Amino acid sequence: MNDFPLILFSILLVFTMLAFLVRWAAEDAIQRGKSPWLVSLAVIFFFPWGLIAWLVFRPELPNRPRFRLEDYRK
């Protein structure tokens, strides 16, 4: 029973972090023209793999030049 506050704090911290990650992923999906519901569900149900998949496979932002390392080499 002594560990109850620590366990409760840990659970609240994990849920808070997950909520912020889901909100960020949904806003990012809106900016990129994708369904925020689908991305949010993937992040929640397949955490952390859903978040990693979104970071790897998310589309480029429209009207934004792509970063090319060759442009910055001397």
pLDDT value of position 30: 94
Structure tokens at 74: 């001397």
Distances (CA, A) of 3 to 6, 10, 11, 32: 5, 11, 12, 43
Mapped onto helix, strand or coil, the DSSP state of residue 58 is: coil
Instruction: Report pTM.
Output: 0.77
pLDDT in tens, 13-49: 999 999 999 999 999 999 999 999 999 999 999 999 9
Beta carbons of 61 and 31 less than 8 angstroms apart: yes
Structure tokens at 63: 């009207």
Neighbours of 34 (CB within 10 A): 16
